Structure formats: structure tokens, C-alpha cells
Chains A and B, each alone.
Chain A
Amino acid sequence: MSTATRRVSGAGVSRPLHLRLIEREAPMGYILLLPTLLVLGTFLAWPFLFGLWLSVTSAELSDPGHFIGFGNYNFEFKIDHPFWTSFWNTFLYTGVTTVFKFTLGLSMALLLNQIFPLQRFVRAALLLPWIIPTVLSTLAWKWMFDPTFSVVNWVAVHLHLVAAPGPNWFGGTSTAMAALMIVNTWRGMPFYGIAFLAGLQTIPLDLYEAARVDGANRWQQFLHITLPLLRPVLLVVLLLSTILTFADFQVPFVLTNGAPYNSTHVLATWAYQWGVPGGAIGLGASVSLVLFPVLSIIIAGVLVLLRRPE
């Protein structure tokens, strides 16, 4: 195709009909979406629908089962006690870690936004917890919280922060939950930090200059410039992280797997417990789907908040 014809065709005069058609916005849009829809359709939508179907059947491993309506949900809600523990644990786990990840992440971003020596090195170093494979870092934490050889306790005892031998992390219901939360926060915080840092860097510096001229102190600047302008990033990161934390499986599974006595199960591990070792995949599917409507509502809420100012 020569330059001349391209010019003409660009104006849409003599180009063949099919070319003009696919260059209209709608057909082009659909074509561009095709690969994505294909991948997501095959490897996500279909298995998801299959999962939905499983949740209303009596399916067991190696037995397709039959339709039982809301039988599984009924069983979970009314008969299976650890379900409710797992349900509330999931909210507690997500809620507490999100607050910590948010606060620490924001502080980290504000710090990283300053100028200091070795800046790039520090940024990369602080991202490390998020980079290392979760299973492996969680195993490392398991070793750090080890009932007999906890280095965390060793350090705390030697710094005289706690009395020897220190907390039995996985032995008590609340300390075990705390351990899960610490690991999740440690791992998730860097992502918050980096994303918030990205947001901070888009805020024009002259806004702060102007505020300073008007006599605003640092706190006022933070409250009236930083926070409002950062709002979209904050919400989006919150949203993503909430979803991922609600579904978190690896950390609770590797660290406690529900112990002591089913007090630290979250929905993901409880669903796994029924579906995989228990072989009741219908039941497992129903447990993992319980959060779906809840999450949808939360997300709809956040998205509404996100769009309002525009």
C-alpha cells in the first residue's frame, strides 16, 4: 500500500467496505476485546459457571451428584458451625489487615516521596515482601513464629519487650489470628506503598507551594491537598486489596490451616477443607461462593464513590 492510497483510504473514501467496517469504533472494539474474552471465557467463565452449578449439587469427588437446590447453603448456614467462625474470621482478617496495610502503606509512600540517599535501592528493597513467592515467605514466617524456635520471640525477649518465652503464636486463638494478620500485612503493605507513591507523584508541587504561602502547616496540606487528590488511588488500591484479602488462601493455609481448633479458618480454607480433603466439592463450592454477593456489593459501593466527583 503506497502512501498516497493510504491517505485517501484514511479519509474513508475508497477503502474496501470490510476495512471501513472494522475501523468503525464498535466493530474494532469487539475485535480488540476478542483475545481477552476468549481467554477469560475458556479459563474463567466456564469453570466459574461449573463452580456455580457444583454449589447447588450434591457432587462429591468421583461422583457428579444431583441438583439439590440450596441444600449445601442450608447445611452451611444452619448445621456446620465452623462455617460461621470462618465467615467472621474472613471479615476480621480482611478488615484489620486492610486498616494496617492502608495506614502503613500511606506512611511508607509519604516517606518514599521525600528525597533521600539510595532512594531507588530503598524503594526496591521495600517491595521485596511483595515480590517473593507467597508460599515461601509464609513458610519463612512459619519458621519465625515456630512454637519452639521463634526468632521473633527470641528477639523480643532479648530486647526485654516480652517475658520469656514470649507468646505462643499458633497456640492461642487470638495470637494465631494475629500471626496471620502480621504476615498478610507484611506482604501486602509494599504494594499499597508503591501504588500510593505513584499517586503522590502526580500531585503538582505548586499546589503545596501555594498552600504554604497561605500559611497551611504540613498536616493541613496533607488533609486538604494530599488526601483529596489521592482519593482515587486510595480507593482503587483498597478495592483491589480487599478483594484479594477476602480470597486469601495461601497465608492462612500454610500458617495455621484452621488450628487451634478451627479458630483461624477463613472461608477460603474452610471451602478447601470440605471440597478437597473432604471430597465434598459441591459443599466446598458453595462455601467459596458465599462471599461473591457480599463482595459485589462492596465493589459496587466503592465504584460509586470513585465516580462521584467526575
Chain B
Amino acid sequence: MDRLAGRWIRIYIPILLFILITLFPFYWMTVTSFKSASELFDFNQSPLFVAAPTLEWYKILFFQTNFWHWTVNTTIVAVVSTSISLFCSVLAGYALGRLRFRGADAIGWGIFITYLVPPTLLFLPLAFVIRDLHLFNNLWALILTYPTFLIPFCTWLLIGYFKGIPRELEESALVDGASRWQAMMRIAIPLALPGILSAGMFAFTLSWNEFLYSLIFMNDSLSKTIPVGVTTEFIKGDEFYWGVLMAAALLGSIPVALLYSFFVDYFVAGMTAGAVKG
């Protein structure tokens, strides 16, 4: 009995507290999304519950806006830019974590340093590049620019991962007559899969959430992503439409949340080697 009480004090109660703090805003968003406009501003009753739930905001979201388009756009952008980033980072991670050649260290540093470049500095010059490539209002503008902040982290994670795979495995394959490419494709990369998955989830999350580039490069309502579509269209003049804003915020995070609820353990496992060996 004492042991159980101890577990409650040491583990369960703190965990519950953490859950309370992390999830309260989500609870509040849910409640807000079901309140009518006048109930939102009525604090005479408890604001924590909905007196007369309404689906008005969800109806607006589904039938009067391009929310579905935004979701599709965000998905496309997140999937493709994540794939591109993974492709680049796997190769770069392998090169920098596995191969010895002149300049490898400097390049590794260089890639890492790119993290220091503030995005607020970049977006105006980037607009230039996007213009020259005729990509304004085109999902490719995002697909191509997101890797700039995804590749550094993914590469860094994968360098660590590749370093963690024993060299002997590849060397024995080489002795068996495999070429280096084959050794990489058939041995190193499969072994690095947990790390790749983890990096992929990280990249997917960041691209799903990106705001500034998407705001700048996308124009018409049909080509917006969720964070931009929601914030550009539901703040009207000097009124915030909290109900729709919160409904959209919730729905907009569900896909990623689902992804994590299935793969969170892989995500954790994948972070390990990279983080430790980094």
C-alpha cells in the first residue's frame, strides 16, 4: 500500500500535473470552438463549460472556407519537402558520418551554422529567389524553401546515427565484394531507418507548422497552408473570430497528432542514437 502511495506521489501526480498544463490550452480551444459568439464573451457563467454548444464555427470552416484545400496543400508540402529533406540528409549524413575526406568537418560545421541564420533576415531576399524561379503562389516555393531549415537538423541527427553503426558491418560487406554504394544502400541505410523515421517526423512537424514563408509566398486562398489560411482569413478587420480560429487550430493539428500517437515510440528511439552521438 505504501509503495503504491509512493508511486502516486512520485509518478502519477506529477504526470497528471504535466498533462494538465500541456493539455489545458487544448481543452480551452475545444470549448471555445463550440461556443456561440455571445457566449464567448460571457464570463458570468463558468467559461470552462459550454452552455449551449453550437457547430456554427465548424460549419463555417467546412462550408464557407477553403479549409480542405489548405489541409491538402499543407499535406502535400509537408510530405514532399520532408521527402526531399530526408533524401538530402541521408546522403549528407552518410557522407559526413561515415566517409573520411578533406573538408568534411568544415562542411558539417557549415551545415550546422545555417541554423544560426535568422529567418526574419532571410525572407525578403528569398522572395527574390522565388520570384526569379517564378514560383510565387506555387506550392513548390514552399517545398523548396522548407528544406533549408529541415536539412540541418536531419543531417545532424543522421550523422550521429551513421556514426553509431559499427564500421565492421559495412567493411565485411565490402570484403564480400559489395561496392560502397551497395554497402550504403543495403547495410548502412536500413540500419539507420529508426533515425530516418525520427528525422522525418521532426521535419514533417516543422513543415506542417511553418508560417512566415508560407505567408509571404502564397497568395490566393486556394494555395494557402493551414496556419496561414486560418490566420489570414478569420481575423477580420478588428474582430477575431475566436470560434473558427480555435476550431481550425484543433483540426489543423489532428493529422500530426495522429502521426505521433502511432509513432511516438519510434520517434523517441530514433532520436536516441543521433542525439547521443551528435
Contacts and interface: CB of A to CB of B under 8 A. Distances in A.
Do A and B touch (CB < 8 Å)? Answer: yes
A149 B41 contact: yes
Contacts of B174: 10
Contacts of B22: 125-126, 128-129, 186, 189-190
A134 B228 CA distance: 11
A190 to B, nearest CB: 7
Contacts of B272: 198-199, 201-202
A89 to B, nearest CB: 15
Interface residues of B, number: 100
A23 interface: yes
A139 B25 contact: no
Contacts of A134: 209, 211, 227
A281 interface: yes
Contact of A128 (B11, B178, B253): B253
Contacts of B117: 44, 48, 51, 292
B253 A139 contact: no
B57 interface: no
Contacts of A199: 272, 275-276
B237 interface: no
B137 interface: no
Interface of A: 6-11, 19, 23, 25-26, 28-30, 32-33, 35-37, 39-40, 42-48, 50-51, 54, 107-108, 111-112, 114, 116, 120-137, 139-141, 143-144, 148-149, 151, 154-155, 186, 189-190, 194-195, 197-199, 201-202, 232-233, 236-237, 240, 243-244, 247, 249-250, 268, 271-272, 275-276, 281, 284-285, 288-289, 291-292, 295-296, 299, 306
A47 B101 contact: no
Nearest to A54: B125
Interface string B154-197: 01000000000000000000101111110000000000000000
A299 B177 contact: no
A50 B125 contact: yes
Q: Which 6 pairs show the lowest CB-CB distances between chains A and B?
A: A10-B177, A136-B249, A47-B125, A26-B101, A198-B271, A32-B95
A6 B264 contact: no
Contacts of B176: 10
B268 A123 contact: yes
17 contacts: A9-B177, A23-B179, A29-B101, A40-B148, A43-B126, A47-B122, A51-B122, A107-B14, A121-B261, A125-B19, A132-B253, A132-B257, A139-B240, A154-B47, A186-B21, A201-B268, A306-B278
A6 B260 CA distance: 42
Contact of A39 (B94, B148, B240, B257): B148
Contact of B124 (A37, A44, A268, A281): A281
A29 B91 CA distance: 9
Contacts of B126: 43, 47
Interface string B247-262: 0110011001100110
Contacts of B240: 139, 143
B40 A149 contact: yes
A39 B147 contact: yes
A133 B211 contact: yes
Contacts of B94: 32
A194 B41 contact: no
Contacts of A116: 11-12, 15
A39 B276 CA distance: 27
A63 to B, nearest CB: 13
A6 B21 CA distance: 59
B267 interface: yes
A198 B268 contact: yes
Nearest to A132: B253
Contacts of B91: 32-33, 35-36
B128 interface: yes
B223 interface: no
A136 B121 contact: no
Contact of A29 (B12, B84, B104, B248): B104
Contact of B205 (A37, A44, A130): A130
Contact of B120 (A130, A133, A249): A249
A50 B95 CA distance: 29
Contacts of B120: 247, 249, 268, 271-272, 275, 284, 288
B183 to A, nearest CB: 9
Contacts of A129: 22, 25
B58 interface: no
Given A39-B151, A132-B249, A127 B260 contact: yes
Contact of A36 (B21, B92, B122): B92
Given A50-B125, A51-B121, A131-B253, A195 B231 contact: no
Contacts of A137: 25, 249
B121 to A, nearest CB: 4
Contact of B256 (A131, A140, A186, A195): A131
A42 B212 contact: no
Given A43-B148, A51-B121, A114 B23 contact: no
Nearest to B109: A303
B261 A25 contact: no
